């Protein structure tokens, strides 16, 4: 983490969010932004930015030891959020062929952001775990 982020005061008092809190934070952010974007137009830029922000927010607001959860959760949260949105707002119901096509379309819109965010989150996780092993 950069020295600017490390020196800023966190909005959460105490050690930070537990793993479950990071999961809920990331899912809600991705779900809300994706639902708003899907109602206006197809999924893409704003949901991708929400994915990147969820990775950063998980690193910034999470406790020590939540970096693995932060790296793993956003793609899973995107999957569940997309399936819920397609079955409700999208009007696809649970028709497998239509949900499959719409899901692939949504995934293609956010794939670059997901890959970039995942690479950054995994590098951060390995860096943090290496630093924690050295200090222990």
What is the rounded distance in angstroms from the CA atom of residue 10 to the CA atom of residue 33? 23
What is the rounded distance in angstroms from the CA atom of residue 70 to the CA atom of residue 55? 6
Task: Give per-residue pLDDT as tens, 20-66.
Answer: 999 999 999 999 999 999 988 888 899 999 999 999 999 999 988 89
- Give the CA radius of gyration of the chain: 16
Q: Give the pLDDT score at 5.
A: 60
Contact present, 25 and 58 (Cβ < 8 Å)? yes
User: pTM of the predicted model, to two decimals?
Assistant: 0.85
Residues of the domain holding 108: 14-135
Cα of 56 vs its chain's centroid, Å? 9
- 28 vs 90 pLDDT, higher one: 28
What is the rounded distance in angstroms from the CA atom of residue 57 to the CA atom of residue 80? 19
Asked if residue 3 belongs to a domain, the reply is: no
Asked if residue 118 belongs to a domain, the reply is: yes
- Please give the tally of structural domains in the chain: 1
Residue 93 has pLDDT above 80, yes or no: no
């Amino acid at each position: 983490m950069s020295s600017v982020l490390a020196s800023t005061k966190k909005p959460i008092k105490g050690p930070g969010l537990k793993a479950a809190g990071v999961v809920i934070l990331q899912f809600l952010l991705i779900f809300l932004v994706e639902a708003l974007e899907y109602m206006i137009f197809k999924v893409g830029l704003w949901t991708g930015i929400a994915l990147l922000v969820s990775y950063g927010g998980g690193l910034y607001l999470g406790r020590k030891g939540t970096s693995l959860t932060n790296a793993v959760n956003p793609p899973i949260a995107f999957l569940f959020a997309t399936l819920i949105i397609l079955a409700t707002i999208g009007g696809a119901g649970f028709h497998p062929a239509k949900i499959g096509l719409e899901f692939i379309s949504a995934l293609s819109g956010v794939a670059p952001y997901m890959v970039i965010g995942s690479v950054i989150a995994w590098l951060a996780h390995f860096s943090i775990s290496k630093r924690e092993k050295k200090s222990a």
